[in-house]
Chains A and B, each alone.
Chain A
Amino acid sequence: MEKLKTLKDLENLRIALKRAIDPKKTYVTICSGTGCQAHRCENIIVEFEKELTKQKLESKVEIRKTGCLGFCERGPVVIIYPKGIFYQKVRIEDVSEIMSKTVVKNEPIERLLYEDPQTKERIAYEKDIPFYKFQTKYVLGNNNFIDPAKIEEYISIGGYASLGKTLSKMKPEEVIDQMKKSELKGRGGAGFPAGLKWELCRKEKGDEKYIVCNGDEGDPGAFMDEGILEGNPHVVIEGMLIGAYAIGATKGYIYIRYEYPRAVKSVERALEQARECGLLGEKILGSNFNFDIVLKMGAGAFVSGEETALMASIEGKKGEPRQRPPFPAQKGIFGKPTNINNVETWATVPLIIEKGADWFAKIGTDKSKGTKIFSLVGKINNTGLVEVPMGLTLRDMIYKIGGGVPNNKKFKAIQTGGPSGGCIPESLLDLPIDYEKLKEAGSIMGSGGLVVMDEDTCMVDIAKFFLEFLMDESCGKCLICREGIERMLEIVTKITEGKGTKEDIELLQELADVVADASMCGLGQTSPNPVLSTLKYFKDEYMAHINDKKCPAGVCKSLLKYDIQKEKCTGCGLCKINCPQGAISGERGKPHTVNQEKCIKCGICYDNCKFKAIKR
C-alpha cells in the first residue's frame, strides 16, 4: 500500500475504499476468533471459499474472516450481512446449502438458526437474539465488519479518523482534557482514571517517554483483550497513537501473553501494515509527530501483568513488581517516564475522540462511565464476550444475556475480577455492575471476567483453586505473600479434607488481613479476596466441611464416597464400562457395587448413570 503522507491522503484513501464497496454485495462473515478456531472454523472457511468458486458467486459475495463475534458457545458462528442472518454450530455439510439458499435466495435455513430455550422459537437475525439484543457494542462491535488482516477494511469504516482529528485539530492538552472529561477508568483492573494517568506522565520532564499497552491478560476466565487484539488490532494501535501524541511519547510497547499466539500474529501484521502506510514512523500524516511500537511477548507469568513487573519484563528481566513510588510516570521503562494502559482502555480512546467526552460520559453510572467488555463463562448457557453499559445488573447479565444456568441446575455464585476478585451470591444479583458497587460487595471489577458457578461448585474448593493459583504465581519477593498464601492454602486444603476446625476460620481471617495489609503489589494485596468473599457469603459451606465432614456440592474428594443404591440400579452396566479403575462389579440386570478400595472418586459413574442410582 502507498504511504499516506498527509491527512488528505488518508481521507482520499477512505473515500476511494468506500466507493469501491458494492452496496449490493453479500458478506458471509465467519468468526475466526480463538473460540471458533477451537470449533475448527478453518475447515468451514475453506469450504465456503470452494463453494464461492463452484457456485460462481465471486462477484456478488465476499467471504469475510473476522475476529471474535462474541457468541463462542454456538461456534462456529456465521453471520450473513447485510441482512444479519445468524447461523450457529455450522458444519462443513451446511456450507453448500447456506450459499445456494441463504446467500443467493435470502432464505434462512431453519435448523441452523438460534433456538430460544424458553419459547423454542427459532430466531433468524443477530439483532433479535437475546445474547446480542441486550448488548451495546461500541468497542467490540467493529469486529463484525472487518477482517483484522486488512488495514483497508479498518480505514473504510472510519479507522484512524480519530488520529487524524487529533493531529490536525487538537493540542495534546486538549486530548488529555477530553480523556479526563470522559471519566474513562483503566479497564485493566484497578480502575485508575486514564486521563489523569496521561496527564501525570505528560507533566513529567524527560527527553524520551514510553507508552505501553498491557495485553498480559492473565486472569483465568477472561479473554476480552484477546478478542480485541485478534479482531481489531488497529483500534489499539490508533488509541496508542493518540495517547502517545497527548503524552509526548515516541516509543510504545504492546506486551501480549504467550498463551495468545493468534493475538500476537494479528498485532504483528497490523504493526507492519501501519508502518507501511506511514501511520507509524516519522512525521505521521504530515505532522511533526513521530511514534513507533515494538511488540513484546510474555512467557507465562501472571504477576507480570502488574505494571512495574510488566516494565521489568519488557526490559528483559524477571517480571517482578517493585515498590511504588516512583510510579511508572516518574520512572518507567529504562528509567524514562512511562504510561501503561490495558488493551481495552487503548481501544476505547478512538471512540472518545470521535464521539466526544460528553457523549461517552453519558453512558454508564454515576462514577463508572462507558461500556465494558466482559467474558461470561463457567456454568452459563451463553458463554462468550459481552459488551454492556456500566450499571447493568448481574441478574440481567446472567439471565437475559447469559440465558441462565445450564441443565436446570441452581445458580450459586458469580465470580468477578479473577484471582483478585470475589464470589457474589444470589442475594446480591440485583447489584449494578460498576467499579464501586462490586468493591462494596467485597469483589472487584478487575479486567472483566465473570465466572458463573452452580450448585455443583464447591465454594471452599474455589477458594482453594484461587489460592493454588496465587501461590504458583506469587513471585516470592514479599515474605508475607509468599508464605501467607501458602499457609492459607494449607488451612483451606485441611478444610476440604474434612480435617478443619472452627479455629481455622479465625486464623484464616487473620492471615487474610495480614497478607492484604503487608504485601507490596496488587497480587498479594488482593489475594485474600476469594477466601474472604466465600467466607462472607458461603460460610455455611465451610461449616459443613468442618462440622458435618461433608462437601454439599460433592466436589471435595476426601469427603466423598460413591455408592450404588440397590433399589435404583437397573444393572445396565454403563458405570462398569466407564469406570477407569475397574472398581465396579455386578452381573448384567442386577444391582452393581463399588469397590471402595479401588475407587479413585473420579465421579465418572455418577455423571454417566441415567437412573440416578449413584449416591455420593
Chain B
Amino acid sequence: MVIIYSRFTALFNTSVSIDKMSSKKEVKTRASAIDLKKTDLILQKFDNKKGALVSILLDIQKEYSYLPRESLLRVAEKLDMPLIDLCGVASFYKVFSFTPRGEHLVNVCLGTACHVRGGPKIVEAIQSFLEIEPGKTTKDGKFTFETVRCLGACALGPIMVIDGDYNGKMTPKKVNEILGKYK
C-alpha cells in the first residue's frame, strides 16, 4: 500500500485538486509542456476502446518513458472514464511510472534463480553506487533504478539490464565498472 500511495502522490502532489484537473480548461493549460498529439495518435490506434486501456497505457509509457498527467487526463476524457478508475488500473501494474524516468534505466532481476546466485548483493552494490533505492531516480536525472521478478535469462544470473542491454553473471565489482561507463 505504501508503494501505491507514494506513486499516487507523485501524480496528485500539486495544488490542483482532482476536480480541477479533470476540467477541460486545466487540461489545455497544462498540456503545453507535453506533446499530446502522440497521445491522440495512440488513442486513435486503439479506437478509443476501454478494453484496450492497458495497451494504450503501455504505448503512452513507451512514447514518453512514463505516464504524464496530461496524457492520462486525455485518455480519461476520450475513454469516458473517471480518472480515478484509470489511475486504479495504471497503479495496479508495476510497469507504469507516474514520474519521468532517468536517462538510463537500470534493472536488476530478483527472480529465484538470481536470488540464490546473489541478486540481493547486486542490488546493494547499485544502491551504494547510485545512492538511490530501487524505484527511484538519481537527482541529476541520469539513472532510474528498478528491480524485476525474473527476466527469463536465469542461466546468466544475477543479471543487471541497462537500457535493454543484458549484463550476466554480475558481481558487485562489475556493477561499479559497468555503471561507471554510463556516468
Residues of A participating in the B interface, judged by any CB pair closer than 8 Å: 34-35, 37-39, 72-73, 75, 217-223, 226, 258-261, 296-302, 313-320, 334, 375, 377-379, 383-384, 415, 418, 449, 451, 453, 457, 462, 465-466, 469, 472-473, 475-476, 578, 580, 600, 602-604
- Number of B interface residues, CB 8 Å? 46
Q: In the complex the two chains form, is B54's CB within 8 Å of A316's CB?
A: yes
A218 to B57, CA, bound (A): 21
Of the candidates A300, A301, A377, A469, the one whose C-beta lies within 8 Å of that of B155 is A377
Dominant SS at the B interface? helix
Of the candidates B116, B148, B164, the one whose C-beta lies within 8 Å of that of A451 is B116
Q: In the complex the two chains form, is B113's CB within 8 Å of A299's CB?
A: no
Residues in A with CB closer than 8 Å to B125 are 580, 602
A457 to B166, CA, bound (A): 25
CB distance from A445 to the nearest CB of B (A): 16
Complex A-B, nearest 3 residue pairs according to Cβ-Cβ distance, in ascending order: A220-B111, A72-B155, A300-B94
A320 to B92, CA, bound (A): 9
A299 to B50, CA, bound (A): 16
Q: In the complex the two chains form, is B94's CB within 8 Å of A297's CB?
A: no
B5 at the interface (CB under 8 A from A): no
A-B contact pairs, 10 of them (CB 8 A): A35-B156, A37-B153, A38-B153, A39-B156, A73-B155, A301-B92, A316-B52, A318-B88, A475-B92, A602-B124
Q: In the complex the two chains form, is B93's CB within 8 Å of A72's CB?
A: no
Residues in A with CB closer than 8 Å to B180 are none
In the complex, the chain A residue whose C-beta lies closest to that of B156 is A38
Q: In the complex the two chains form, is B172's CB within 8 Å of A449's CB?
A: no
Check A220/B116 contact, CB under 8 A, given A301-B93, A377-B155: no
In the complex, the chain B residue whose C-beta lies closest to that of A461 is B115
Q: In the complex the two chains form, is A72's CB within 8 Å of B156's CB?
A: yes
Q: In the complex the two chains form, is A38's CB within 8 Å of B159's CB?
A: yes
A437 to B125, CA, bound (A): 41
Check A457/B156 contact, CB under 8 A, given A313-B54, A318-B89, A602-B124: no
A500 to B145, CA, bound (A): 33
Of the candidates B55, B154, B168, the one whose C-beta lies within 8 Å of that of A221 is B154
A21 to B123, CA, bound (A): 50
Q: In the complex the two chains form, is B92's CB within 8 Å of A220's CB?
A: no
CB distance from A122 to the nearest CB of B (A): 21
Residues of B participating in the A interface, judged by any CB pair closer than 8 Å: 1, 49-55, 57-58, 88-89, 92-96, 110-117, 121, 124-125, 128, 148-157, 159, 164, 166-168, 172-173
Residues in B with CB closer than 8 Å to A259 are 148, 150-152
Residues in A with CB closer than 8 Å to B155 are 35, 72-73, 75, 377, 383-384
In the complex, the chain A residue whose C-beta lies closest to that of B57 is A299
A315 to B168, CA, bound (A): 36
A34 to B121, CA, bound (A): 23
Q: In the complex the two chains form, is A378's CB within 8 Å of B168's CB?
A: no
Of the candidates B54, B55, B112, the one whose C-beta lies within 8 Å of that of A220 is B112
Residues in B with CB closer than 8 Å to A578 are 173
Q: In the complex the two chains form, is A39's CB within 8 Å of B92's CB?
A: no
CB distance from B114 to the nearest CB of A (A): 8
Of the candidates A217, A451, A580, the one whose C-beta lies within 8 Å of that of B128 is A580
Q: In the complex the two chains form, is B153's CB within 8 Å of A35's CB?
A: yes
Q: Which of B89, B150, B157, B159 has the most CB of A within 10 A?
A: B150
Q: In the complex the two chains form, is A299's CB within 8 Å of B153's CB?
A: no
Known: A39-B156, A299-B54, A319-B93. 9 other contacts (CB 8 A): A221-B150, A221-B154, A258-B95, A299-B96, A379-B116, A451-B116, A462-B115, A472-B149, A603-B121
Q: In the complex the two chains form, is A299's CB within 8 Å of B94's CB?
A: yes
Q: In the complex the two chains form, is A72's CB within 8 Å of B53's CB?
A: no
A313 to B124, CA, bound (A): 34
CB distance from B4 to the nearest CB of A (A): 9
Check A377/B157 contact, CB under 8 A, given A221-B111, A299-B58: yes
Residues in B with CB closer than 8 Å to A226 are 152
Check A318/B156 contact, CB under 8 A, given A451-B113, A469-B149, A602-B172: no
Q: In the complex the two chains form, is A316's CB within 8 Å of B153's CB?
A: no
A105 to B77, CA, bound (A): 67
Of the candidates A297, A453, A604, the one whose C-beta lies within 8 Å of that of B54 is A297
CB distance from B126 to the nearest CB of A (A): 11
Q: In the complex the two chains form, is A318's CB within 8 Å of B92's CB?
A: yes
Q: Which of A39, A316, A379, A415 has the most CB of B within 10 A?
A: A316
Q: In the complex the two chains form, is B51's CB within 8 Å of A34's CB?
A: no
Q: Which of B49, B54, B96 has the most CB of A within 10 A?
A: B54
A375 to B49, CA, bound (A): 38
Q: In the complex the two chains form, is A377's CB within 8 Å of B149's CB?
A: no
Residues in A with CB closer than 8 Å to B150 are 218-223, 259
A398 to B110, CA, bound (A): 23
CB distance from A140 to the nearest CB of B (A): 15
Q: In the complex the two chains form, is B116's CB within 8 Å of A457's CB?
A: yes
Residues in A with CB closer than 8 Å to B116 are 378-379, 451, 453, 457, 462
A53 to B148, CA, bound (A): 41
CB distance from A472 to the nearest CB of B (A): 8
Residues in A with CB closer than 8 Å to B53 are 316-317
Q: In the complex the two chains form, is B117's CB within 8 Å of A378's CB?
A: yes
Q: Which of A73, A221, A580 has the most CB of B within 10 A?
A: A221
Q: In the complex the two chains form, is A223's CB within 8 Å of B154's CB?
A: yes
CB distance from B25 to the nearest CB of A (A): 28
In the complex, the chain B residue whose C-beta lies closest to that of A486 is B1
Q: In the complex the two chains form, is B154's CB within 8 Å of A218's CB?
A: no
A35 to B153, CA, bound (A): 5
Residues in B with CB closer than 8 Å to A38 are 153, 156, 159, 166-168
A30 to B150, CA, bound (A): 24
Residues in B with CB closer than 8 Å to A418 are 112
Residues in B with CB closer than 8 Å to A315 are 51
A300 to B155, CA, bound (A): 22
CB distance from B50 to the nearest CB of A (A): 6
Check A34/B55 contact, CB under 8 A, given A299-B93, A299-B95: no
A473 to B166, CA, bound (A): 25
Check A602/B151 contact, CB under 8 A, given A317-B89, A451-B113: no
Of the candidates B114, B152, B173, the one whose C-beta lies within 8 Å of that of A217 is B152
Q: In the complex the two chains form, is A296's CB within 8 Å of B168's CB?
A: no
CB distance from B29 to the nearest CB of A (A): 29
A377 to B157, CA, bound (A): 9
Residues in B with CB closer than 8 Å to A383 are 113, 154-155
Q: In the complex the two chains form, is B113's CB within 8 Å of A377's CB?
A: yes
Q: Which of A377, A384, A451 has the most CB of B within 10 A?
A: A377
CB distance from B122 to the nearest CB of A (A): 11
Q: In the complex the two chains form, is A296's CB within 8 Å of B55's CB?
A: yes
Q: In the complex the two chains form, is B58's CB within 8 Å of A72's CB?
A: no
A258 to B124, CA, bound (A): 25
Q: Which of A38, A465, A476 has the most CB of B within 10 A?
A: A38
A8 to B28, CA, bound (A): 59
Residues in A with CB closer than 8 Å to B96 are 299
